[in-house]
Chains A and B, each alone.
Chain A
């Protein structure tokens, strides 16, 4: 396949198609609209359905319905719409419905700065819906990675029966760069686990050895119940602790025991580093630029780029932090993932480089933080 100029949002849409997404419901919002535009054209070409809904609440509901009907389903939005989707994201978490929710972050709160980037939804992606629940959040830092992580988001959603959030930002969503997409035969596609038990034996929320119950689509002749209430193995509401506690334990366990598959990150130059920069999303581009410049100057700086931000890759961060004195965390917010870093690195100095005004964190600012880190020795 040849090189071409591609936008991040377009790569997300193409990644969805490649992953087998055949249903999209959404409501337009900058800077995520480009994803809808591409899918409105592309989905009908591959036998899929595109629906523009009346709002984001309905969009998320439609996505859940489509997934229960057997389709790989996705929606895409930005801050204000992501806020509206939260209740139904919780429903998907409770009912264990595979789906992908894309949030192309723009500066907020409220309508904020529609055309400017932000990473202000990091905590919302984790805790936006109420109640304790596991969630997977992936954050790409290039156009090519947006394609790859969209595929991975679908794979994880289907494999673990969970909503997955693809947390993009306006910079990556609107960025165009030279990319070469992988040929279809090189892309791993995961399908949800089904079962061949007869309908009368099927339990939609059975405790299986894998902790992920097989999922049968509505309309295939199997009767079961879906609810946002705590439920028993057949999906009917329950208040019995011997049914509630195992459910809670199982949904967390199914994520925790698969961290090796779920956590995606990349380290560079950490072996001899004294300072490490930890970054994700568009800010990782500024960080890598700064780290390379600092290395040329002779500073012993390393780089950890996180593609999975939730569950937070705490073991990796801990390991990287072991032999260094300072960690630098640049973010386009006032320090959201930095809180997690601080939680796991013990007494090491955590230097935040924060910006929440709709502008990118510039390499120069990270470089200054690297210099500053050296002075504290």
Chain B
């Protein structure tokens, strides 16, 4: 069995978690990887916990859902409280510090995703795309070119430009973060 890489994106219905998962999955295909994308949400269209999962592997993927996440993104307090237990021991936990006050571990990486989105595009709704840029920039699991192509292909009509701006903001912040780590 090849190494699986598992990503879980969790938030509230309407934040764009499922679309974010689809974009990640499509970008992964552009990179030549095998991928599955699943979701879990309640019967309501807005509000309520919503999560999207992406599994990447060089080989065939049998079980399509996350077993233990390598990366967990939490865009709401509820998501963070519910899904932290499935994170791998050295997994990466990214939380939107504008929406998550209490983090379950000091190793959590709290970043102001909503504020960065506001700064980059003037629209908080693009926070999920900022998160995608930050997440892939940090982990390097998917190439930037593929992410840009996937965002462009999936952005609602007339919004490609602002979504690419949001993505670029995520990548820039990831670079800045990595640089600060290297000292």
Contact = CB atoms under 8 A, between A and B. Distances in A.
Contacts of A292: 1, 62
Interface stretch (B37-45, B99-107, B124-132, B139-147): B37-45
Given A171-B64, A292-B1, A360-B65, A177 B37 contact: yes
Interface stretch (B21-29, B90-98, B111-119, B159-167): B21-29
Contact of B29 (A3, A360, A363): A3
Question: Range of interface residues on chain B?
Answer: 20 to 34
Nearest to A288: B62
Contacts, number: 61
Interface residues of A, number: 25
Nearest to A116: B40
Given A175-B36, A178-B29, A285 B64 contact: yes
B38 A171 contact: yes
Interface string A25-59: 00000100000000000000000000000000000
A5 interface: yes
Interface in B4-49: 22, 25-26, 29, 33-43
Interface of B is mostly: mixed
Contacts of A363: 62-63, 67
Given A4-B29, A5-B26, A177-B35, A296 B1 contact: yes
20 contacts: A3-B29, A5-B22, A30-B43, A115-B40, A115-B41, A171-B64, A175-B36, A175-B37, A175-B38, A176-B37, A177-B36, A178-B25, A178-B33, A285-B64, A286-B62, A289-B63, A293-B1, A360-B65, A363-B62, A364-B67
- Which 7 A/B pairs are nearest by Cβ-Cβ distance? A289-B62, A289-B63, A176-B37, A288-B62, A177-B36, A114-B43, A5-B26
Interface of A: 3-5, 30, 114-116, 171, 174-178, 282, 285-286, 288-289, 292-293, 296, 360, 362-364
